[in-house]
């Protein structure tokens, strides 16, 4: 049947499109907001220690995320040191929020009557064609609800001697991934991209997803690898 040939052709086109899209690079998009009073200084002065509140002292989760942040700080010549010898103190804060989003999408159905009938005017008097006015498919809209997860990482750098805050940056990303562990390397990389940013800067950073696994490298206890090379970052001011 003519319709069967059309259906097969459409299926082949969709398969080709899916293959093409699978080869495209996907990105994690993060909004970054920075407040800065960074005065520079030599690389030798960029020594730091992580600062924890009492509830964080024995947290494996905190130590894991600190290592992710430490990896990114190292790309900007920061070196960890003992608390007594550190020039800066670095504190991190993080969290995940879940919301429900609603979307409406067109709903299509297959017309089982391929023709040669003409609808719209009786007996084919100037009708719209063998499938009616809407082609072989038609329908309304379907409303769907789905969860959206917002992951946030805050990094605060203070001068240890004076207690003065010198840098405060927040990175926030939203999507269908519920795991903060998955998102953390992208958040840390985005938060510290092009350090130091100016005071009051708000921008969007896009990082490519690992095409091998669709996820960043595994975050092990005490050892974390960055999500993607720094050169892979795209920034929209």
Q: pLDDT at position 56, please?
A: 81
Q: pLDDT at position 70, please?
A: 98
Q: pLDDT at position 2, please?
A: 47
User: Whole-model pTM above 0.85?
Assistant: no
CB-count exposure of residue 142 (10 Å: 0-12, 13-18, 19+) = exposed
Q: pLDDT at position 17, please?
A: 37
Q: pLDDT at position 11, please?
A: 40
Domains of the chain: 25-99+154-236 (3.30.160)
Per-run averaged pLDDT (10 residues), the chain, 237 residues: 46 40 68 94 86 87 96 96 95 91 67 47 41 50 83 97 96 93 96 96 92 44 37 52
230, 189 contact by CB (below 8 A): yes
Q: pLDDT at position 105, please?
A: 74
Q: pLDDT at position 54, please?
A: 85
Q: pLDDT at position 106, please?
A: 74
What contacts 155, CB < 8 A, 6 or more positions away? 69, 90, 91, 92, 167, 168, 169, 170, 188, 191, 192
């Amino acid at each position: 049947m003519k319709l069967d040939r059309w259906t097969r052709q459409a299926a082949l086109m969709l398969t080709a499109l899916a293959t093409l899209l699978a080869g495209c690079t996907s990105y994690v998009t993060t909004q970054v907001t920075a407040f800065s009073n960074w005065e520079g200084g030599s690389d030798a002065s960029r020594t730091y220690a992580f600062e924890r509140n009492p509830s964080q002292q024995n947290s494996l989760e905190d130590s894991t995320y600190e290592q992710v942040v430490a990896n990114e700080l190292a790309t900007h010549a920061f070196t960890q040191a003992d608390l007594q010898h550190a020039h800066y103190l670095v504190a991190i804060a993080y969290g995940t929020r879940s919301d429900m989003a609603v979307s409406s999408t067109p709903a299509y159905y297959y017309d089982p009557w391929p023709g040669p009938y003409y609808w719209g005017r009786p007996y084919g008097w100037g009708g719209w064609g063998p499938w009616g006015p809407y082609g072989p498919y038609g329908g309304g809209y379907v409303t769907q609800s789905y969860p959206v997860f917002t992951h946030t990482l805050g990094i605060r750098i203070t001068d240890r001697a004076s207690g003065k805050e010198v840098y405060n940056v927040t990175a926030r990303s939203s999507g269908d991934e519920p795991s903060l562990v998955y998102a953390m390397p992208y958040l840390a990389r985005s938060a510290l991209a092009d350090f130091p940013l100016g005071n009051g800067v708000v921008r969007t950073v896009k990082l490519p997803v690992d095409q091998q696994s669709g996820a960043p490298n595994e975050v092990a206890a005490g050892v974390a690898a960055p999500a993607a090379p720094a050169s892979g970052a795209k920034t929209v001011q």
